Amino acid sequence: MNKGETFQVVITGFDFEGLGVTRVDNFVVFVIQGVIGDELLIKITNVKRNFAFAEIVEIKKASINRVKPFCQNFGKCGGCDLWHISYETQLTFKSNLVKDTLKKIANLEISGIKIFGHQGSFNYRNKVQIPFQEMNGQIVYGFYEKNSHLIVSLNNCQIQDPIHEKILISFKEIIQENKLSAYNEKLHSGLLRHLIFRKNLKNELMLILVINGRINKKIKDCLLELANYYPEIKSIYINLNPKRTNVILGQEMFHIFGKEVIIDSIDDLAFEISPDSFFQINPYMTKTLYQEALKMADISKDDIVVDCYSGIGTISLFLAKKAKYVYGIEIVKNAVLNAKNNSKLNKVENIKFIEGDVPAKIGEILKKTRIDVIVFDPPRKGLGTELLSQLIPYKIKKMIYISCDIKSASKDIKYLFDNNYQIKEAVAFDMFPGTKHVESCFLLELK
């Protein structure tokens, strides 16, 4: 098989990234935007030892699972992966992704994993980070192309609130009038790096402008002018990031307008959102996720619970409704401050938030009190053996593991399975419609 060769094929499956899968001779071929059931003419674009990648030259016969993408930038923009696939097929793909990854990495067979699909509008994102660049003397903004840092201009993006694009159009006009520059990655020059939107369920907005430099009167006046046009804007910050890095936020954050926080809610609980707070992207699915996690945990009034990676206290406060006492552990200082404020805001007293590294702090708690239930919602890298090895001797009866990365979760679950735990329930959630990502939640019990 050689690059540039063409073949007529039928797509028979999806890989872990949502690419169509077919077989040509002894090669597995991954086809960009291939859909199960498609009959295609494909062209080979990259050849490895035992597999290859291909693009579609012609759709000979479209699968019944194929739909026309509703986004004009689909295929160029790196934000979404699956809008060429019917939503029902997306859900099946994600349910199978959880099942197949557990089988491949943890060697565990879980059949029929239920997945909760997104309900209502697909404009679900409550946080969006928009980069700025200068191209051909013009300031542009949007999302990055797949596998690059070239910007695809926004054009009625379907996964965020339409107000964001209106504000961006106005902001571009204001900054051009004031002759402000956009950031150039190669030269590490220019001022404007990102504009971040955070939105609550009341459609109140917090804006964070990330700049390469110091705050001056001109940029501050531009933002205040923007706030004057849009009453939805309730809070504005400027973040300074002078480093040559792909990390979006720098270390210095300055509040320049309106409230210091916006208040969002999940079910009957209220939460302060600050610029760097972690809060689930999809508020509609978050409520379903937490309700299911709480149901799985089946917490009694005598249970002591630990919430690892507790963030601003979202899951912790749900757990405190049922438990005798809850400990939340979080390493980010501002998140811990938010969590403490949120416990006061919701008048929850049977809870304590601890600042520090989870592996270190969990050991301190284990030495002084029993733990009946432990809840994990870790970063993408998962938990790791440093943390898990500490838990095994204490024989904690129940663990709830929430994951945004099924690969890392499967590694951790294998470790727990090898140390006398078993999966009692496994559920998936489509927290990110249109993308290859899936949220999952597991109940693990001591055998």
Do the Cβ atoms of 400 and 373 come closer than 8 Å? Answer: yes
Active site residue 157: no
Both tokens of 205, joined, read 């907005």
Matching residue, tokens 């899951």: 315
Of residues 77, 80, 404, 441, which has the active-site annotation? 404
Task: List the one residue out of 207, 320, 310, 322 whose CA is nearest residue 253.
Answer: 207
**Phi first, then psi: what are they for 228, rounded to 5°?**
-70, -30
Do the Cβ atoms of 91 and 435 come closer than 8 Å? Answer: no
Do the Cβ atoms of 334 and 277 come closer than 8 Å? Answer: yes
Task: List the one residue out of 402, 431, 395 whose CA is nearest residue 416.
Answer: 395
Residues noted as catalytic: 404
